[in-house]
Chain A
Amino acid sequence: MRNTTELSSHRLLKSNKNRKDSELKGNIIVKSSAIIIITLTIALTVFLSIKGLQSFIKNGINPWDFITGTNWNPTSETPSFGSFNFIFGSFAVTMLSALIAAPLGIGGAIFMTQIAPKWGNKLLRPVIELLVGIPSVVYGFIGLSVLVPFIRNHVGGLGFSLLSGTIVLAIMILPTVTSISTDALNALPKNLREGAYALGATRWQTIKKVLIPAALPSLLTAIVLGMARAFGEALAVQMVIGNVSDFPNSITDTAATLTTIITLNIGHTTYGSIENNTLWSLGLILLVMSFIFILIIRFLSSRRKI
């Protein structure tokens, strides 16, 4: 009879002489990736801050005038750099698009979780996932070729307007708001709803008095995340808003935002010139605003009740 027992050196894991070495190697590789992430974040903040502050330090522009001034005329003989109109434009499209997207998104989330979960999962969830996948330039292109002519013909103005930017952004942030609100409502304990029903509350009373208050911090997080996305979106807005540095007098008036001015001009201006430096300062405002949005989201998550 042949001996079928394998040699122990084949059967068992070989004792690796370098086990300690490879363990150390693994440790170093893994930790270095963590270090890269930290370095990237710090480098990004520091580099963009230094570059963004140059127009104030090197070119001597008064930061207060820069933020509150309404006259943006970098190419004239006496150039003036007042970016208030862009800051206002950014906030206007962000707030208005959140006003449209929040009721739609939260309403959709309530439909998906409370009214018709079956339909919601079969129809609405795939729809939301598809909307997330559409690239922002495609939103911009459709806005440019459908929305702008529609507004020009039926609402008034040039078509390129705050209103167009608002609608395009509202559709873009809709999936963000809806999916996070859905998660928030799904995460609520079941007995909250059942308790309310047991007390004889109707579905609407349950939603209004129990579910929405309980999920409020998460629902607000959803809206703020959507706003953060709207504030930073560049190309889709740039294609439909008109990019005029004057203050918009009505919602159908052309406007500009921080991102659109950066997108349009940063490639055309000479690197290191005053005009170029002020664009980096606008970028710094964008960075600071992103930090503020993140802080708001953190604050909201810490207030989560359930």
Chain B
Amino acid sequence: MNRKIADRIATITFVGLSMIIVAILLYLFAYIIMNGFSKISWDFLTSPSSNILAGSGIRDQLFNSFYILILTLIISVPLGVLGGIYMAQYAKPGKLTNFIRSCIEMLSSLPSIVIGMFGLLVFVNTTGWGYTIFGGALTIAIFNIPVMVRTCEDAIRSVPRELKEASLALGITQWHTVKTVLLPSAFPGILTGVILSAGRIFGEAAALLYTAGLSTPRLDYTNWNPFADNSPLNIFRPAETLAVHIWSINTQGLIPDVTEKAAGASAVLVISVLIFNLLARWIGSMYYKKMTATK
């Protein structure tokens, strides 16, 4: 009978451990929603932030976050897709391919603060740009490229072999096959990967602290000249993103309503990441339904 009791105890333990995990998540979400959701208002989203006064908003930070996200994707997606094509179609098994694989593994698993230090060294100090949006975007692209390479390689590899072979059998060259057969079929998979990585970029802070900076100049949203200092579109201006803002008001800020503002900003951040994840999941399931003709 002893072993049956042991089995029962083990089962209860495992159920308990899982319940703890669920409870942690429920608590985190309840905290963010209860404290943060009520702080989000149109006014909060559209008024500029302040370092000293209460009642500030997150307008510029929100804009900066999206702007850096878009710039990073512009830099890293083409490179990642090409890298994925190389790994899936062109690379021959051997030492070089193994070395590239190690490089990808290393770049994607380095701590973001180390990547941030590299960005500070190269894009801030060596180039003499100072803290810029562009430097920040380049820095995050460094760890997003390997992530993209992996997703694209997987997406291209999951395209049925027959499609590719039929195309090659028709006498179409490899590059043309990649462009007209493989990439369109792999597109939904790649898109899902891009959106998922967008969530990670959106919440990134450590790599941006000392590359995009902790401040934003006074912006004039009617100035669309990308070379003007006060234009939001200028890529050579410092920019504090939403995630960096949460860190900086908590650790260095002087505003009296810190907890409130940080809770509101956290809620905006978590909800944005959630939307990215749901979108990726939705596209994935749409694609799955289309390919398998199930409802």
Contact = CB atoms under 8 A, between A and B. Distances in A.
Given A41-B107, A204-B7, A287-B110, A47 B122 contact: yes
Contacts of B79: 33, 36
Contacts of A73: none
B52 interface: no
A252 B118 CA distance: 34
Nearest to A272: B125
A37 B173 CA distance: 26
Contacts of B29: 130
Contacts of B269: 135, 137-138
B21 A129 contact: no
Interface in B91-135: 91, 99-100, 103-107, 109-115, 117-118, 120-122, 125
Interface string B201-216: 0111110011000100
Nearest to B179: A26
A293 B108 CA distance: 13
Nearest to A124: B18
B240 to A, nearest CB: 12
Most buried by A among B32, B117, B269: B117
A40 interface: yes
B227 interface: no
The number of chain A residues touching the other chain, given as a range, is 35 or more
B149 interface: yes
A83 interface: no
Interface in B228-273: 243-244, 246-247, 250-251, 259, 262-263, 266, 269-270, 273
A262 B274 contact: no
B136 interface: no
Contacts of A41: 103, 106-107
Interface of A: 13, 16, 19, 22-23, 25-27, 29-34, 36-38, 40-41, 43-44, 47-48, 51, 103-104, 107-108, 110-112, 114-116, 120, 123-124, 127-131, 133-138, 140-142, 144-146, 171, 174, 178, 202-205, 207-208, 225, 228-229, 231-235, 238-239, 259, 262-263, 266-267, 271, 280, 283, 286-287, 290-291, 293-294
6 contacts: A31-B86, A36-B83, A140-B250, A204-B10, A234-B111, A235-B206
A-B complex: 9 closest residue pairs judged by Cβ atoms: A232-B111, A135-B203, A26-B175, A107-B17, A33-B82, A204-B10, A202-B7, A41-B103, A234-B113
